[in-house]
Structure 1
Amino acid sequence: MTSLAPQPDVVLVHGAYADGSSWSEVIERLQHAGLAAVAVQNPLTSLADDVAHTRRILALHDGPVILAGHSFAGTVITEAGIDPRVAGLVYIAARAPDAGEDYAALAQKFPAPPAKAGLVYTGGFGGLTEDAFLNDFANGVDPGRARVLYAVQGRVSESLFHERTTAAAWRSKPSWYAISRRDRTTSPELERFLAKRMNATTVEIDSGHLSLITHPQEVTQLILAATQTVSQYAAAGGS
Structure 2
Amino acid sequence: MSSIKEEKIDRRAFSTALLLSAAASMISTRGMAANGFPPKARNVVLVHGLFADGSCWTDVIARLQAAGLNATSVQNPLTTLSEAVASAERVLARQDGPTVLVGHSFSGMIVTEAGAHPNVSALVYVAARAPDAGEDYAALAKTYPTPRATAGILFDGDEGRLSEEAFLRDFASDLPEAKAKVLYAVQPPFLKALLTGKTTNAAWLSKPSYYAVSTEDRTINPDLQRFMARRMGAKTIEVKASHLSLISQPEEITQLILEAAGQLA
TM-score (norm 1): 0.93
Q: Which residue of 2 aligns with 1:190?
A: 224
Give the paired residue count. Answer: 228
- Give the AA of the match of 2:236: T
Q: What displacement does 1:6 show?
A: 5.7
Secondary structure (helix, strand or coil) at the match of 1:228 reads: coil
Q: Which residue of 2 aligns with 1:170?
A: 204
1:134 pairs, out of 168, 182, 185, with 168
Q: Which residue of 2 aligns with 1:203?
A: 237
- Give the AA of the match of 2:144: F
| CA–CA distance in structure 2, aligned partners of residues 109 and 121 of structure 1 | 24
Q: Which residue of 2 aligns with 1:119?
A: 153
| CA–CA distance in structure 2, aligned partners of residues 153 and 166 of structure 1 | 28
Is residue 2:135 matched to residue 1:101?
yes
| CA–CA distance in structure 1, aligned partners of residues 185 and 52 of structure 2 | 10
Per-residue Cα deviation, 1:206-225 (whole angstroms, up to 9, x for no partner):
00000000000000000011
Q: Which residue of 1 aligns with 2:12?
A: none
Q: Which residue of 1 aligns with 2:110?
A: 76
Q: Which residue of 1 aligns with 2:75?
A: 41
Instruction: Compute the RMSD of aligned alpha carbons.
Output: 1.5
| CA–CA distance in structure 2, aligned partners of residues 115 and 227 of structure 1 | 32
8 Å contact 1:98–1:167 — kept in the other structure? yes
Per-residue Cα deviation, 1:51-92 (whole angstroms, up to 9, x for no partner):
010011001112210000000010011000000110100000
Relative to structure 1, the CA distance from residue 228 to residue 38 in structure 2 (aligned partners, 3 Å threshold; closer, same or farther) is: same
8 Å contact 1:71–1:95 — kept in the other structure? yes
8 Å contact 2:41–2:121 — kept in the other structure? no
Secondary structure (helix, strand or coil) at the match of 1:159 reads: helix
| CA–CA distance in structure 2, aligned partners of residues 61 and 34 of structure 1 | 15
Is residue 2:191 matched to residue 1:157?
yes
- Give the AA of the match of 2:60: V
Unaligned runs of 5+ residues in structure 2 are: 1-38
- Give the AA of the match of 1:46: T
1:146 pairs, out of 166, 176, 180, with 180
Q: What displacement does 1:154 show?
A: 1.8
Secondary structure (helix, strand or coil) at the match of 2:101 reads: strand
Q: Which residue of 1 aligns with 2:18?
A: none
Identity of aligned residues (%): 56
- Give the AA of the match of 1:159: A
| CA–CA distance in structure 2, aligned partners of residues 71 and 202 of structure 1 | 16
Unaligned runs of 5+ residues in structure 1 are: 233-239
| CA–CA distance in structure 2, aligned partners of residues 64 and 32 of structure 1 | 19
Whichever of the two has the greater Rg, that structure is 2
8 Å contact 2:42–2:68 — kept in the other structure? no
Secondary structure (helix, strand or coil) at the match of 1:21 reads: helix
Structure with higher helix content: 2
- Give the AA of the match of 1:77: V
8 Å contact 1:44–1:156 — kept in the other structure? yes
Q: What displacement does 1:35 show?
A: 0.6
Secondary structure (helix, strand or coil) at the match of 2:261 reads: helix
| CA–CA distance in structure 1, aligned partners of residues 241 and 102 of structure 2 | 18
8 Å contact 1:181–1:205 — kept in the other structure? yes
8 Å contact 2:41–2:100 — kept in the other structure? no
| CA–CA distance in structure 2, aligned partners of residues 181 and 141 of structure 1 | 15
